[in-house]
Structure 1
Amino acid sequence: MDLQVLPLAVTMMVGPQIMSAILLVTTRHAVRASLAFLAGVTAATAAGLALSRGVFALLGQGVSLGDPSDRGSAGTIIQFVLVALLLAAAVRSYAKRETAKPPRWLGTLMDAGPRKAFEIGTLVILLMPSDIMVMLTVGAHLEQRDLNLAAALPFLAATVLIAALPLLALLLFRKRMSRAMPKVREWMNTHSWVVNIAAYVIFILLIL
């Protein structure tokens, strides 16, 4: 897998996804809940990539996605359509920035155990529009270059690593992070629209 797609792992975790990871390291069962969250992220991302690869494999049987270097190929056009959808989402997030609030379910993570954390880790990947579009982009990338699912393992590993950053920071710098994480959480709660737009912009820039 080339470097064009690998950085999209950043987009996978920007937004409520990384906010969830940060919230979990401020809870009473931080380590256990965070590990369960990472397991959910891993399972959901692997399943999403497999499904996306399968979809484009079926699509490729009827419609050639073309050469990756051809800007007019079907595969490239699909990626541009995904970019356009995220651009519209970014504009929508900016327009509603004054009333933007983090999802209500984020508040439930304060008392989350491993089971709840695993469920959230799964859902923040499979139900987030930005993540769905990223995984579709990776699927189109694999099909267009005739790569199997194993080629997406670096992308999966990068996604999980980014999701694990709050936990790793807590384990390495426990005292400092115990003080810093609540402040980061408060900032992200009041600036959720900035985080969402950042995710969209990163995706757009990496694809274009």
Structure 2
Amino acid sequence: MRFLEVLPMVFVMIAGPQILSAIFLATSDRWRQNSAAFVGGAAISISLVVTIAYALSAGVTEQGQSNTTLSAIVLVALVLAMVHTYRTRETSEPPRWMGKLETATPRFSFRLGFLLMGFFPTDILTSVAVGSYLAARGASLLDAIPFILCTLLVLALPSLTLVVFSERAETFLPKARNWMDANSWIVNELVILLFIAMTLNNLLG
């Protein structure tokens, strides 16, 4: 999978409570430990879901199913992600666990990263889509590494920004959090549409 094919899915993975959680943790009392634990948990769960999806899709391919069938599965997963994003667009109240982030512990942050990035509806659908897409193209599982690393890098950006810019970042991060909270569903829909177009091109081509 080429990098440009992976990049849109990274934004789908982090737009919403995912990047908001990373920003909250970057401004928590133990932000260094919490941010590292959050990214560590995310790394394990994303890798796990992508690997399972790849293995299952590769098994289907070995049994004689066509790439068209697998591409159709990817398309269905993306459509479901798009529908979920649209249906939850007007949810104004943040999840209850988000109120715990400012006083979070590294253990809580690790568990949050694992569960949120691995099993949140849009994230699990996105990871399944990436793993299935790789199998459908006959690519190596190693080609998922750019997707995983880019997702983790974006999740780490709030804490990295704090390291580099210090006080200025403390002012900027809350503004970024508010903007993402208000516009994340639009970002999600646009990026999912882009990947749907790429998948349709693979089906029709």
TM-score range, shorter chain: 0.7 to 0.9
- How far is the alpha carbon of 1:188 from its aligned partner? 4.6
- Quote the Cα distance in structure 1 between the aligned partners of 2:180 and 2:13: 17
Query: Equivalent residue for 1:106?
Result: 98
Secondary structure of the 1:7 match is helix
CA contact (8 A) 1:142 1:149 kept: yes
- Quote the Cα distance in structure 2 between the aligned partners of 1:130 and 1:74: 21
Query: Equivalent residue for 2:83?
Result: 88
**How many residues of Structure 1 are paired with residues of Structure 2 in the alignment?**
196
Structure 2 vs 1, CA of residues 195 and 53 (structure 1 numbering), >3 Å: closer, same or farther? same
1:31 aligns with 2:25: no
- Quote the Cα distance in structure 1 between the aligned partners of 2:25 and 2:66: 41
CA contact (8 A) 2:57 2:70 kept: no
1:163 aligns with 2:163: no
Task: Report the TM-score when normalising by structure 2.
Answer: 0.87
Structure 2 vs 1, CA of residues 171 and 134 (structure 1 numbering), >3 Å: closer, same or farther? same
Query: Equivalent residue for 1:69?
Result: none
**Any gaps of 5 or more consecutive residues in structure 1?**
67-72
Structure 2 vs 1, CA of residues 77 and 183 (structure 1 numbering), >3 Å: closer, same or farther? same
Query: Equivalent residue for 1:207?
Result: 196
Of Structure 1 and Structure 2, the greater helix share is in 2
CA contact (8 A) 1:26 1:182 kept: no
Taking only aligned residues, the RMSD between alpha carbons, in angstroms, comes to 1.8
- Quote the Cα distance in structure 2 between the aligned partners of 1:186 and 1:79: 32
For 2:105, the aligned partner's letter is G
- Quote the Cα distance in structure 2 between the aligned partners of 1:90 and 1:45: 19
For 1:88, the aligned partner's letter is V
After superposition, where does 1:21-170 map in structure 2 within 5 Å?
21-66=22-67, 73-94=68-89, 97=90, 99-170=91-162
Query: Equivalent residue for 1:18?
Result: 19
Would you identify which runs of 4 or more consecutive aligned residues in structure 1 move more than 6 Å?
none
- How far is the alpha carbon of 1:63 from its aligned partner? 4.7
Question: What CA deviation, in whole Å up to 9, does each residue of 1:116-166 have, x standing for no partner?
Answer: 111111111122111111111111111112222211111111111111110
Secondary structure of the 1:147 match is coil
Secondary structure of the 1:5 match is helix
- How far is the alpha carbon of 1:84 from its aligned partner? 2.0
